[in-house]
Chains A and B, each alone.
Chain A
Amino acid sequence: MSNTITINNKPVTVTEEQRSMSLLTFLRENQFLHGVKNGCEKGLCGSCTISLDDRAVRSCKMTVEKALGKSVITVEGMEYEDGTIHPLQQAFIDAGAVQCGFCTPGMIMSSYTLLLKNPNPSREEVRKALRGNLCRCTGYQQIVDAVQLAAKYIEEQGLSPLAGCLR
């Protein structure tokens, strides 16, 4: 069995005692990926959402062990190496979808996995995909706008939907 996780397109070796840790704690405390947020630690808020093999998962609800051999992308992996940001990130800024920002990384990761599967989601489809991500600030309206705007950016400007770290 593999003892590595690919995190933001880089292999990370996991020690024996780290296997039983929660993936959230591992990403935050060992990998210093502080964009992964802890809002409830019980799988209820979505702040800790990451992409695991292109599926949105809550990192607080799984152990490091379960991620072995898989590819994890966190919000830190979304921007490109040269510092330009992913169309989703740009759209969140442009649409006014960010307030306190605590839910934002999780929202972006859930939206990312949605756009990979569905490049042109309707508002209802966006709402469904983000159902597990709580936001107390925005009322979600401009977050839904942002995801649709990102889809438009990607289509109109011929951009790749892939996370920046994968390119």
Chain B
Amino acid sequence: MAEGKTFRNDGYAKVTGRATYADDISFAGTLHMVPVYADYVAAKNVVIDSSKAEALPGCIRVLTAKDVPGITNFGQIEQDYPMLITDTIRSWGDVLALTVAETREIALAAAALVEITADPIKPVLTMEEALSPYARTVPSYGDSNIVVHHKMRHGNPDPLFDECELIIEEDFTTQMIEQGYMEPESAICVPRSDGVIEIYGSMQHPFSTRRFTGALLGEPLSNIEVYTIAVGGGFGGKDDTAAIVCARAALGARILRRPVKMTYTREWSIRESYKRHPYKLHYKVGVTSEGLIKAVKTEMYADSGAYLSVTPWVTWRSTAQCCGPYAVDNVHADVYGVATNNLFTGAMRGFGSPQVNFATEQIIDMIAEKLKMHPLGVRRINMVKQGSTTVTGQVLDDHTVSMEEVMNNTVHEIGYRKKFEKCSLGKSDSDELYGIGLAISYRGASLGAEGMDFCSAIINGQYDGSILVETGIHENGQGSDSVMMMVLAEELGTNLKRIRYKRSSTSNIPDSGSTVATRGTIMGSSSIVLAAKQFKELLSKHLAERLKCTPEEVTFHGDKIWGLTYDQSLTWEEAMKELFLQRVTPYAFGTFQAPDVSWDETNGQGNAYFTYVYSCQAAEVSVNKKTGKIKLLNIVASHDIGKAINKAMLLGQIYGGITQGVGYALMEEVTSEEGRTTSLNFDKYKIPRTTDLPEMTGIVVENYDPHSLTGAKGIGEPALELIAPAIANAVHNATGIRCKSLPLTINPEDLA
């Protein structure tokens, strides 16, 4: 693949409007399903009267928890999320019933006729309330609103603070935000004549979708087949809720024996789907006069909302990465997930690190300011280097630790040193104050000690020389299918025209976990390499005789299969035909298991991740003295992703991730009144537009990673996790004001 040229196997379909997303699919006789909400934030003794709705002509059925053959409550960790409410409402996003009708209009009209009564309870809306000893317990399980508590005990910071020259003690808060995928959730489910329910849905985790559906229907996983179709973005947000939308449509299809479609409006999507955890973070950091961080104590609280979802995993990442990319010898961290009656929170691109980075990367600048050191100097002294021991006790000696290299790249490209001297710090002759800021991070790639980590690939050669490939990684729009095809083409020495990515189904490829945690490229491409190795071995064994050499001597390049000399070669067409004549199926199955990781939950120590992605992003801003408006002037990002496979798509991930981070930094916030979400569409929930962004420069650093079979790591999340503190530092350097909560706002009065 020529450098700089983009490959997307779905590019043509997407620019012509032919790409098929869930709501674009219909089958003869499709019924339409609509969710029914109630205006309670917390209530019990729920009574649902659907008689009026069911009397509406064209309304086929109103389904409630009573109709569920399986279990209504499910979840990835704790089975606490009610796919339909039975008795107790715990959040404003809860769904009580589903109307099913011949048309969407009738289903909508019927939903308005479902009558719900319940006894309201006073909702618990803040973490402070939830933690009070008198608080009502929100979750259905356990006896506390503290739903998880991770600890880190690395060395002993307490006695060291006295010896430190400088102690920084600060609080930070981050807001709740929405993933904001452009396509709202949608599903269409079809009951097949062989008893299987087929699912076409806008979800990012087909296997999780199958588990949720199996639970709701009370049926084995083999009864449910989830197909991959085009998905309009996910960013972590299309797991639980999107899976549940599929499960509900499947319930309708099963009971009514007709295809059922459920397409969400933007308002329902924002009302019901889980969000990024808002955090409250407290840090106490002790520093020597040379700028060395000696001791850190931190406490963090994450609002988990009414249901658990993946809060234990999100907060685990915050724990493992609680000190940013710095090797600190003495750290105590306590990270809590807290249940409230707010909307539940779960996975979003970044997953527990954007919150932490927002605090730590500002603290580093604060240290520099107090000690009159350069911010780069403080970073250099403390950052992880080759052979460093991380705060989890992991020695970084088996991959290239490129933190400094990556930082230098960004610094040089943007001209940080010179520009840093020009920062206004609140003083300027014009109305515009100028500032530059940067942030660095390292991110554990893939799941780490948070979960089971393996992935499969299937290569299926056809007798005409064409090749089908699939993996357990899911295409959410990021371009993973294209990357897998490119890796296979490279491994087989053939070209992309020969290869087709097979639309995956959960009944074909084994469960390979969720396409999250920046694991798509590293896990998927490694599984392809393994399958390709087997595939080549099989071919070599059966073609050696024809190529007049030993199997070990067979090579694959130039879209041909070769023996030892130039006159000994086979085209793929000839080779595949030969295998079929020998009654051998050219087929290979490979599973890549992530290298071992370890974790001790009692002290938060272990080899948390098998490798890390190193990143540095910098931003230049101007802040208007009269309005306080923050304008971005320039952004530069440098990331060590191991190896670039599809360069243009990689840059696209960087720019896209930065842009979501810009939204986090400057404008996004899910707002609510008394637990009822008020930012239900893009008028109130503002995300960055073309004119909110400056030109961006992405720098790709490639230090081949020995843990990945292609050398590639990943980029999805690193791109997003650190621009907010970079901007916060730039805003400080422009105004002299330190913003410790997100989104950043500058009150012009403070500039006077």
Residues of A participating in the B interface, judged by any CB pair closer than 8 Å: 33-42, 44-45, 47, 74-76, 78-79, 85, 89-90, 92-105, 108, 123, 126-128, 130-144
Contact = CB atoms under 8 A, between A and B. Distances in A.
Contacts of B651: 96, 141-142
Contacts of A108: 15
B683 A98 contact: no
A70 B652 CA distance: 37
Interface of B: 5-6, 8, 10-21, 23-24, 179-184, 230-233, 235, 265-266, 476-479, 648-649, 651-652, 654-660, 681-683, 687, 689-691, 693, 695-696
B17 A105 contact: yes
Contact of B691 (A36, A79, A128): A128
A37 B691 CA distance: 22
B184 A39 contact: yes
Given A79-B16, A99-B652, A93 B689 contact: no
Contact of B689 (A74, A99, A131): A131
A41 to B, nearest CB: 6
B16 A35 contact: yes
A134 B16 CA distance: 19
A37 B183 contact: yes
B243 to A, nearest CB: 18
A142 B655 contact: yes
Q: Is the interface of B mostly helix, strand, loop or mixed?
A: loop
Q: Is the interface of A mostly helix, strand, loop or mixed?
A: loop
B235 A40 contact: no
A100 B235 CA distance: 11
Contacts of A102: 21, 181-183, 232-233, 477
Contacts of A78: 16
6 contacts: A35-B18, A40-B682, A96-B652, A98-B15, A105-B17, A131-B691
A100 B237 CA distance: 14
B8 A139 contact: no
Nearest to B182: A102
A93 B6 contact: yes
A118 to B, nearest CB: 15
Given A35-B18, A102-B182, A141-B651, 19 more contacts: A33-B17, A34-B20, A35-B16, A37-B21, A38-B184, A39-B232, A40-B681, A42-B266, A42-B682, A47-B182, A79-B16, A100-B181, A100-B183, A105-B17, A133-B690, A134-B687, A137-B656, A141-B655, A141-B696
A85 B691 CA distance: 28
Given A35-B18, A95-B6, A101-B10, A136 B181 contact: yes
Contacts of B183: 37, 39, 100, 102
Given A34-B17, A47-B182, A101 B232 contact: yes
A99 B483 CA distance: 13
Contact of B648 (A36, A95, A137): A95
Nearest to A142: B652
A74 to B, nearest CB: 7
Nearest to A88: B15
Contacts of B696: 139, 141
Given A34-B20, A92-B15, A136-B181, A40 B266 contact: yes
